[in-house]
Amino acid sequence: MRQEYEMTENQLATILEACRPVPMIMLHIIQPRSPQENANDAWKALGNEMGFDHMTVQPVSGKGNRFFTAEPKKEIA
């Protein structure tokens, strides 16, 4: 059952920062992580902190960037 959540301004700033492109330095052979990978990790961390499944997040229309719905994490008995 979906539930509505509201993140703090600091949590939103963390998500937005994770989505920013990472500059690539041509001297390194290793590719930096993509903004999508960083964003996925930020949502996963927020899900762990707030108790929702980060793969089920959906925006709430008309309420602003801090509001979203997701399915609560299932407790393993």
**Measured distance CA(75)–CA(57) in Å, rounded:** 18
Question: For residue 28, is pLDDT > 90?
Answer: no
User: Against a cut of 0.85, is the pTM above it?
Assistant: no
Angle between helices 35-50 and 9-19 in degrees, nearest 10: 160
Question: For residue 29, is pLDDT > 90?
Answer: no
Mean pLDDT value across the chain: 89
Q: What is the pLDDT of residue 51?
A: 96
Q: What is the pLDDT of residue 32?
A: 75
For 6-19, what is each residue's pLDDT tens digit? 999 999 999 999 98
CB 67 within 8 A of CB 11: no
